[in-house]
Amino acid sequence: MDGYVIGDSAGRLRFATGLFVATTLVLLISTAPIIDTVAWANGELSEALRNMTFPSKWTNSGQAPLVEGVYEEPAAQDSVSKIVIRLTDSVAVGTIDGQTAAALVIVTDPGGSGGFFDLYLVQLRENRWRVMDRAHLGDRIRVNRIEVERDLIGLDLTVHGLRDRTCCPTERSRVYYALHGERLVKVNAPAQHSPNPIEGPVWGWQYAVRVDGTRTTPPEPGHYTLHLGPDGQLNVRADCNQAGGNYRLEGSHLTLSVTHSTMAACPPDSLDRQFLADLAAVIAWRLEDSRLYVDLTGGGMMVFTAASQ
């Protein structure tokens, strides 16, 4: 499927570029994943998705340019009925194939009976948000939860059982989708994950050592913390800002990807930007004497201790 850009207006393109730069700066100055209404805490992302053009098989043009989350057009010529396409609150943000991504659900009322739910995947590619693909989920179902973790989109749905009336689904179903090329493909459930020793504790930053021997010590270790959830979720406190995203843990190799952050102005002597930039450079980890040591690209390391210690 061809990609769809956020919009044609200069303002929307400026926003897309600005959001990409801001996201890059957060970790290059890149958990539970961001799920449903939590994703809307990022007002800029909400604004982008609510005013994006999505492909649709229901419209005459084959596209649905949302305005404030809704698109309408007549169901037929001279018809009083309308096709109504609406972005739901089921949104999750994470990383898929190394790219920042948003998974979202759109529901279409074609002007008669039914409410048709579709999953869309949007990725940030070459400084532009693009709709990569969509997958049909069902008619008059319920989306209980959506998440992005370990390169998969997971959905907890309520669907129709054999004896359910059309109006009232009761059967819970867990489904997963992966991006293969530029196609969303339904896949089997991932294997059960066994937590690593560094997953779970909240790690407080003690100090960092550079290649030249320079040592940086935060005045308040509790203001600079790292939490690796067992489901691939990354949570970070960077002084006066809260951030989150995803991580990849393979043996002794560790990479961290912050996908969202508050943008509060911390005091001038804050180490928030340095802390986030260092997290973006993490490549490996080890535990020694209950301390977490993480190595950085180009040399140097950061040292953490569990908050309970």
Q: What is the pLDDT along the chain (309 residues), one digit of tens a residue?
A: 433 333 343 344 333 334 333 333 333 323 333 333 333 435 678 888 999 999 999 999 999 999 999 999 998 888 889 999 999 999 998 888 878 889 999 999 998 778 999 999 998 887 788 999 999 999 999 999 999 887 899 999 999 988 888 889 999 999 999 999 889 999 988 766 667 899 989 999 999 999 999 999 999 999 999 999 867 889 999 999 999 988 988 889 999 999 889 999 999 999 999 999 999 999 999 999 999 999 999 899 999 999 854
Alpha carbon 58 to chain centroid distance? 27
Phi, then psi, of 56 in degrees rounded to 5: -150, 135
Q: Are residues 33 and 161 in the same domain?
A: yes
Q: How many domains does the structure of the chain reveal? A: 2
* C-alpha distances out from residue 258 to 93, 95, 190, 212, 300, Å: 11, 9, 23, 27, 20
Domain assignment of residue 242, given as a range: 202-306
Question: Of 169, 230, 222, 160, which Cα lies nearest the Cα of 200?
Answer: 230
CATH number of the domain that 220 lies in?
2.40.128.270
Do both 152 and 287 map to the same domain?
A: no
Reported as a single tens digit per residue, the pLDDT across 47-101 is 889 999 999 999 999 999 999 999 999 988 888 899 999 999 999 988 888 788 8
**3 assigned to some structural domain:** no
Sequence-ordered list of residues with C-beta below 8 angstroms from that of 126, at least 6 positions apart, any chain: none
276 shares a domain with 239: yes
Does residue 197 sit within a domain? no
Q: What pTM, to 2 d.p., does this model score?
A: 0.57
| 305/294 Cα distance (integer angstroms) | 11
Clarify whether residues 80 and 182 are in a common domain.
Answer: yes
How confident is the model at residue 33, as a pLDDT?
33
Decide which of 133, 154, 187 is a domain's last residue: 187
